[in-house]
Chain A
Amino acid sequence: MASIASSEGDRTLDPAMQVGGAGVDVASSTPLQHRFSPYSWNGGTVLAVAGKDYCVVATDKRLAEGYSILSRKIDRALQLTDKTVIACGGSHNDVEALYNHLKLRAVMYKYNHEEDLSTIGAAQLLSNTLYYKRFFPYYALAVIAGLDDDGVGYVAGYDAVGSYLRSRDGYTANGSAAAIAMPILDNALGKVGVSSGLDEKPEYSIADTIEMLKDIFVTVGERDILCGDAVDIYAITATGTEHEVFELKAD
């Protein structure tokens, strides 16, 4: 385009610039196309496991685009309240815009109602917020993790337009490596697809759950190029939320 635009003479010869112009042979001209690419796919894998009185959510810190790594230490998780953490894969610009909005809503909720927004409240609010942008969605593949009103672990996964479901089995995965991680979680924690014929869901301690999630991230990091570098792990209990960073291979 630079050479075409370099002189007036060239510009008048460029068929693309003359669409709709007087005396132009429309049939042989190429239409001028404008493109708008507001989205990136920056990867991001989120895993969450709920227990009887705790919840753990883990998400990687790699910001990727194509074959490039843009950062090895971004934060994908938002600690919304003492009892609720949200983490998203997707387009990181949208994820940050979404978080800024949710933070504002949580602060205003506390001013207006004199208590923290509950996990169930945050879950519905997130759904509505995503759905209100149904026709220009936030590219955010969210997981919400926390404790419900009874202090029981709560995890729910979302699509980009706000459809969400609280996991009955108490675990979920979303984002880049969700399809790789989910069968691993199914096998470890689920009741379906397990040949040993478990009919009771195993209950792991919070420490074992954290170790399991670390292992899963090590595993999926070998298969998904968008996943790696390090993992943010949030362990939510009634006494508060503990955060740790677990290093992965930076390759």
Chain B
Amino acid sequence: MFATRTEYDRGVNTFSPDGRLFQIEYSLQAVNMGSTSLGVCTKEGVVLAVEKKLTSPLVEADSVEKIMEIDQHMGAAMSGLVADARTLVEKARMEAQNHLFTYNHPIRVQSTAQAISDVAIGFGKGDDVPSRPFGVALLLAGCDERGPQLFYTDPSGSFSKWEAKAIGSGAQGATNALQEEYNSGMSLDDGLELCLKILKQVMEEKIETKNVEVAVVTKEEGFKVIDEEQLSELIARVLVSSTNI
């Protein structure tokens, strides 16, 4: 019995004989099918950029939110099941506020990534978490005493720190582009431009202010979503520079 993979991919708590948890692997697949999210860490701050896949031209673009603030100094971009991300973001926000209340000091980005991962692997263990793994990965950007930082958290409950990271359906192409063009000395502006340039490459739709969302986290101003005016300016800049090449 249990000869095939299909026998082992039912329960979330059953290892296959070769040591795999298929449900968690499938949840990682849900992330790979999600819209593309990018994060780029520079010395001046961190950039988050996501593609907003609008299901219909009648959807109000503003109502689709894939980058969320966690605290004044931190935000997260998501790929996968956006509804699942809300649970994680809510937990991260609570953890951040609780830390501020207890220690009168903003929470570290790494501690927040740890808190998110704790919830991610805690599926099935409470009333406010799903019985299956979370189908979403987050790019967590923030600034603290250790400087600007970018963390990646996934449904398996692990997290890692990155200089630049792409997740979602366009991750493969975007990762190649990041490896080509990222350097740790780049300015925040260069980071913004790089993110939009790569998004433009990997998106199926033509890039415009409605179908991308961009945010930055800096030491000075904390988490800020780039407004439409600034975004259209950035997109214009990226379009011009790419036609020049």
Contacts and interface: CB of A to CB of B under 8 A. Distances in A.
Interface of A: 109, 112-115, 117-118, 120-121, 123-125, 128, 149
Contacts of A114: 110
B63 interface: no
Given A121-B105, A125-B103, 6 more contacts: A112-B111, A113-B111, A114-B110, A117-B103, A118-B105, A121-B102
B234 to A, nearest CB: 35
Contacts of A113: 108, 110-111
Contacts of A118: 103, 105
A189 B117 CA distance: 50
B114 A112 contact: yes
B104 interface: yes
Interface residues of B, number: 10
B104 A123 contact: yes
A73 B13 CA distance: 57
B105 A120 contact: yes
Contacts of B104: 120-121, 123-124
A128 B102 contact: yes
A125 B102 CA distance: 5
16 contacts: A112-B111, A112-B114, A113-B110, A114-B110, A117-B103, A118-B103, A120-B104, A120-B105, A121-B102, A121-B105, A123-B104, A124-B102, A124-B103, A125-B103, A128-B101, A128-B102
Nearest to B111: A113
Contacts of B108: 113, 115
Interface of B: 101-105, 108, 110-111, 114, 145
Contacts of B110: 113-114
**Chain A binding site: helix, strand, loop or mixed by DSSP?**
helix
A121 B103 contact: yes
A115 B114 CA distance: 15
Contacts of B111: 112-113
B95 to A, nearest CB: 11
Nearest to A118: B105
A11 B145 CA distance: 71
User: Which of B101, B102, B110 gathers the greatest number of chain A CB atoms within 10 Å?
Assistant: B102
Contacts of B102: 121, 124-125, 128
Closest 4 CB pairs of A and B: A124-B104, A121-B103, A113-B111, A121-B105
Nearest to A113: B111
A121 B106 CA distance: 10
A120 B103 CA distance: 7
User: Which of B103, B105, B110, B114 gathers the greatest number of chain A CB atoms within 10 Å?
Assistant: B103
Contacts of A125: 102-103
A113 B110 CA distance: 8
Nearest to A129: B102
A113 to B, nearest CB: 5
Nearest to A112: B111
Nearest to A122: B103
A137 B56 CA distance: 60
Nearest to B104: A124
A114 B145 CA distance: 13
A95 to B, nearest CB: 21
Nearest to B114: A112
A109 B102 CA distance: 11
A203 to B, nearest CB: 27
A115 B102 CA distance: 16
B72 to A, nearest CB: 17
Contacts of B105: 118, 120-121, 124
A106 B189 CA distance: 40
A128 B111 CA distance: 21
Contacts of B101: 128
A85 to B, nearest CB: 18
A84 to B, nearest CB: 12
Nearest to B146: A115
